[in-house]
Amino acid sequence: MPRPDIFHRDFTPTPYWWEAYKPAAGDLVEVPREVRVAIVGGGYAGLAAALEFSRHGIDAVVLERGALGVGASTRNGGSVSGGVNIGKSFSGRAAAVDGERTHRLLSDGADAFALIERLIADEAIECFWQKRGRFVGAWTPDHFAYQETRLRSLNDAAQSGASMVPRERQREEIASDYYYGGMVVERSASLHPALYYKGLLDACRRRGIAICADASVETIAADGSGWRVETSRGTVIAGDVVIATNGYTGAVTPALRRRIVPIASHIIATEKLPPDVANSLIPKRRSISDTKRVLCYYRMSPDGTRVVFGGRARFTPADPMLCARVLHGYMTARFPQLRGVKVTHSWTGNTAFTLDALPHMGEEGGLHYCLGCNGSGVAMMTYLGTQTARKIARVANAPCAFDGPEFPDHPLYTGNPWFLPLVGGYYRMRDRLDRLLA
Ligand SMILES: Cc1cc2nc3c(=O)[nH]c(=O)nc-3n(C[C@H](O)[C@H](O)[C@H](O)COP(=O)(O)OP(=O)(O)OC[C@H]3O[C@@H](n4cnc5c(N)ncnc54)[C@H](O)[C@@H]3O)c2cc1C
């Protein structure tokens, strides 16, 4: 039973976003017998790829295992950045990236932001796109100093509009003293993730693209010059296959599964707050995140009435009520003024981390893939889906910076992330130590 202290009487363990669009199979579209390209996974990446194929007159089908939008694409926090985390790897094996490649990665990350902004405008997607910037709180003075060292490359390569906010001015950004100042990134936005998803889906449907829900891909085998893709609702012969399964990458593509560590992320939404409280918490209505290893990300709901607060309450899927208690604790550590506030929604979803912390697109055993959001994929996975389609359609002007053969694996990792609870515990301890020693 919910402990009455934090749970609202209307509490539901489902995403707040699903009040506006709830993943559904809809009228089932038959799996075609033959198609030029089969796309596995119907999230942002899969739909963006399908849209781009249709722009070039290429016949594609999206094969989605469950309801449309059941993956991370209707569950995320809705903060949109073109940022790329270079040199900070979950596995300790960050990519060795020289100055020129860093510039290309940051610049393509910036393109990802431009692409999503253009897509939303072109398709007239009503998803509360709000370009209000992001504040990244520094957990320690050292983190603040590290942020300062990144300013120049962020602004040069990605035109991020980044600037530092010292601790004494922090309350201009957030009604909290939790951080040692932080960095503002102006070129960053927020949206309603499920409405953005629905907008992509509508755009695909307007173009007559086949989007097949409840069509789980069971096997993919080479067949002449193409592929035989067996689904739970029939077989399709495809010239090319795109794997867009991100944090839900499974046994169908074992070589890719070994390169992806699925890490759960959890979010709560609060009840509606009194207007004076709601307006005071994040006065510029930016998205917030922080530099902790076990970071939290949060924002006001699009209508400005609730806090939507996410983080790694656990590193694996876990009971939404347990996660709600942990996240409520994290939230009130930052905003003690929210102590009596109740939680109405709590949910979870999978992100996909890679061993070098970079998103990747490319080819593995002849299959195309776009995978590895590393926790930040609203813009990036839309972009990589689009770029993969452009590559297959042979219309890309230049190779994407995230495209290439180097997608690292580890000899001891086969796709079962049994070690995540240990990593989570270790990271939490390091966060505590960093602050104690600050
Ligand atoms: C809780 C949470 C918070 C997040 N917050 C943010 C944020 O604030 N900002 C941000 O930029 N990013 C955020 N992200 C990340 C972002 O949501 C993802 O990067 C993005 O949605 C990934 O899109 P995708 O299309 O690659 O994958 P998904 O949307 O996960 O879609 C993959 C799909 O593949 C399907 N699939 C898997 N296997 C098969 C199969 N065999 N056959 C058919 N279909 C299959 C799955 O069912 C799933 O629907 C967050 C993620 C989570 C979980």
Please provide the DSSP assignment of 188-211 as one string.
Answer: EEE--HHHHHHHHHHHHHHTT-EE
Please report the beta strands in 342-421, taking only residues with DSSP state E, as ranges in sequence order.
Answer: 343-354, 360-364, 367-371
159: confidence class by pLDDT, cuts 50, 70, 90: confident
Residue 1 confidence class, pLDDT cut points 50, 70, 90: very low
Is the CB of residue 304 less than 8 Å from the CB of residue 274? no
Q: Is the CB of 42 under 6 A from ligand 1?
A: yes
Query: Which residue has the least CA distance to atom 12 on ligand 1?
Result: 376
Which ligand 1 atom is at minimum distance from the Cα of 69?
A: 49
Burial class of residue 312, CB neighbours in 10 A (0-12, 13-18, 19+): buried
**130 three-class SS:** strand
CA of 338 to the centre of ligand 1 (A): 30
pLDDT at 3 over 60: no
Q: How far apart are CA 37 and CA 369, in angstroms?
A: 12
**What are the tokens at 53?**
């194929």
Residue nearest (by alpha carbon) to ligand 1 atom 2: 76
At a CB cut-off of 8 Å and minimum separation 6, what does 378 contact?
Answer: 44, 76, 78, 79, 80, 116, 191, 193, 196
- Measured between alpha carbons, how far is 40 from 337 in angstroms, rounded to an integer? 45
pLDDT tens digits, 386-432:
999 999 999 988 889 999 888 999 988 989 988 888 888 889 999 99
Pocket of ligand 1 contains residue 287 by CB under 6 Å: no
Q: What is the CA radius of gyration of the chain?
A: 21
Distances (CA, A) of 276 to 7, 78, 273, 305: 22, 24, 8, 10
**Does 350 contact ligand 1 (Cβ within 6 A)?**
yes
Which ligand 1 atom minimizes the distance to the CA of 77? Answer: 8
CA 351–ligand 1 middle distance (angstroms): 6
For residue 299, the one-letter residue type is R
Instruction: Give the bridge partners for 189, in sequence order.
Output: 80
The encoded tokens of residue 433 equal: 């130590």
Residue ranges with strand state E in 244-325: 260-270, 287-290, 296-300, 307-311
Q: What share of the chain is helix, strand, coil (3-state, %, to 5)?
A: 35, 25, 40
Please state, in angstroms and rounded to a whole number, the distance separating the CA atoms of residues 190 and 135: 12
- Does the CB atom of residue 417 touch ligand 1 within 6 A? no
Ligand 1 atom at minimal distance to the Cα of residue 216: 42
Nearest to 360 by CA among 333, 328, 325, 399: 399
Structural contact between residues 343 and 272, judged by C-beta atoms closer than 8 angstroms: no
297 in contact with ligand 1, CB cutoff 6 A: yes
Q: pLDDT by residue (tens digit) across 304-348? A: 999 999 998 787 778 999 999 999 999 999 999 999 999 999 999
Question: What rounded mean pLDDT belongs to the chain?
Answer: 93
Ligand 1 pocket check for 45: Cβ under 6 Å: yes
Ligand 1 atom showing the smallest separation from residue 217 Cα:
42
pLDDT of residue 215: 98
| Structure-token pair, residue 139 | 């957990």
State mean pLDDT over 142-146: 95
Are 249 and 416 a contacting pair, CB within 8 Å? no
What phi-psi label fits residue 35: left (phi over 0), alpha (psi between -120 and 50 degrees) or beta? Answer: beta
Compute, in angstroms, the gap from residue 279 CA to the centroid of ligand 1. Answer: 31
Atom number of ligand 1 nearest to Cα 70: 49
Q: Is the pTM of this model over 0.85?
A: yes
For the Cβ of 250 lying below 6 angstroms from any atom of ligand 1, the answer is yes
SS3 279: helix
Coil, helix or strand for 80?
Answer: strand
Q: Which helix (H) or strand (E) holds 111?
A: helix 99-122
What are the tens digits of pLDDT across the range 183-207? 999 999 999 999 999 999 999 999 9
Q: Is the CB of 244 under 6 A from ligand 1?
A: yes
Which atom belonging to ligand 1 lies closest to the Cα atom of 41? 34
Could you give phi then psi for residue 345, rounded to 5 degrees?
A: -140, 145
b (16+ CB within 10 A) / e for 374-389: bbbbbbbbbbbbbbbb
